[in-house]
Structure 1
Amino acid sequence: MLTALLYGIATALPLAVGAAIGLHWQLPRAVLAGLMAFGAGTMIAAASSELFDPAFHQAGAAIAGIALFAGAGVYVICNHLIANRLGPAAIGWALMLGTVLDGIPENTALGVSLTTGGGLVLVVAIAVGNVPEAVSGAALMRQAHGFSPVRALSLWITTATVLVAVTVAGYALSDTIPPTGISAVQAFAGGATIAVLADSLMPEAYREGGWWVGLCTAAGFMLAFVLG
């Protein structure tokens, strides 16, 4: 249980730290873009090797595929509704939404995987991916939506606390969740992660940084792949 708590904190603490940075400091656009691209690379590796691959092999193409598209669909629809309501300035909310929609199943999968001695790649990918999401999301909440620093930081800290609790709960309930259920959670998280990358994180990184951010994405992927 202590291991699950520490792993949960390791994924959630970057959210609070990243939000504090985004609210109090104006990072250079190139630095922020590089962080987002690097985090995207780690998340690509985790979504394929730590989330969808085990789900595909355990539950089969049908169940894993349905869960994958469900995760992507939920994020895409929610993001579309937010964008229609708030317009282009909605990227801050979109990044936070992505953190919740992929974070909850990801951290559940992380807690479950700890029972078999796995989870290192996933915890690194989640932690590294959470930093730029929180930095950019919190900064855009302040700049585009006029959130006070206290309100924005409270939202991100609440999200971080939920993710810690989800990790511990996933670990505690791992014996009661059937293997197919675990696979569905993993594939759902993989789908939500892919949608976050395609709809929000990678386009924003390219828009802020330009052509060279592909190298940062490759570096993030390489790190997660080597750890795996």
Structure 2
Amino acid sequence: MFAAAGWGLLAGSALLVGALLGYLVRVPAGVIAAVMGFGSGVLMSAVAFDLIDEAHDLGGLVPTAGGAATGAVVYTAANVYLASRGARHRKRSGGQQPSESEQAGSGTAIAIGALLDGIPESVVIGASLIGGGGVSAVTVAAVFISNVPEGLSSAAGMRQAGRSRVYVFGLWTAIALVSGLAAMLGNVALAGADPAWLAGITAFAGGAILAMIADTMIPEAFEDAHLLVGLVTVAGFLTAFALSHT
């Protein structure tokens, strides 16, 4: 249980590392976009070769497909609501994020959106420790690598929107802590679960992550690196694929 919390906290801490870079350093928009594309590829590979593949091995096609589709629907529905409250561009590094004066409540919506993006990843990290086996190193590495550009891009956008350092670093510190808690809860809640249920929940997280990539990460990557986004995304995909076969 505590090992799961530690791994989840480690992966979540990358958000804070990225936020520090994004808020304190003037990183060129093209670099942010390229790194975001790389992170997108890493997560795509982890979902395809780790989460969905594992879910299929556990429960077969029906729980896997059903879980992934449900995860995508639930994430998209929540994301649509949060977008209407001001969190549509929470991972954008330019001036797209609204300030609190432009849209009241947008700060809260952005915070909830950031939690929405990170929880499925952390739950899967915790679930990977069920049965006494080692943590899925590929999943932890993929989440860590992808979290850095997420935090970087989002914090840069928050700075553009005029949000304070206390808000930015308080938010990402809290989300890193929640990531550890979510991993611990995933480990405890899913221990002893029927393989079909575990498959469905793992696939649910995979579907939610894929929807998140398409809704929030790829648009930022394409915004300023559209001529290179395909190449850097494939580079990230192959990096994670290589990690899964070492």
Taking structure 2 as the reference length, the TM-score comes to 0.82
In the alignment, which residue of structure 2 is the partner of 1:12?
Answer: 12
Cα distance in 2 between the residues matched to 1:182 and 1:109: 10
- What corresponds to 1:130 in structure 2? 147
Q: What is the SS of the residue equivalent to 1:64?
A: helix
Q: Which of 79, 104, 121 is the equivalent residue of 2:119?
A: 104
Please list every run of at least 4 consecutive aligned residues from structure 1 whose deviation after the TM superposition is greater than 4 angstroms.
87-99
Aligned-residue offset at 1:81: 2.2
Q: How many residues align?
A: 227
Identity of paired residues, percent? 37
Hey, which of these two has a bigger chunk of helix by percent?
A: 1
Distance change (3 Å), C-alpha of 1:130 and 1:38: same
For structure 2, the 5+ residue unaligned runs are 93-106
Q: 1:96 to 1:208 in 2, by over 3 A?
A: farther
8 Å CA contact retained: 2:128, 2:136: yes
Report if aligned partners of 1:36, 1:201 keep a CA contact under 8 Å in 2. yes
Who is 2:41 aligned against?
A: 41
RMSD between aligned residues = 2.4
C-alpha contact 1:79 1:97 (8 A) present in aligned 2: no
Find 2:128's aligned residue among 74, 97, 113.
Answer: 113
Structure 1, gaps ≥5 residues long: none
Distance 2:198 2:120 in 1: 9
| Cα deviation code 1:96-137 (max 9, x no counterpart) | 666533532322221221332350110011001111111111
Q: Please give the alpha-carbon distance, in whole angstroms, between the structure 2 residues aligned to 1:125 and 1:60.
A: 24
**Which letter does structure 2 place at the counterpart of 1:78?**
A
90 and 8 in structure 1: CA distance in 2 versus 1, 3 angstrom threshold:
closer
Which residue of structure 1 aligns with residue 24 of structure 2?
24
Aligned to 2:157: 140
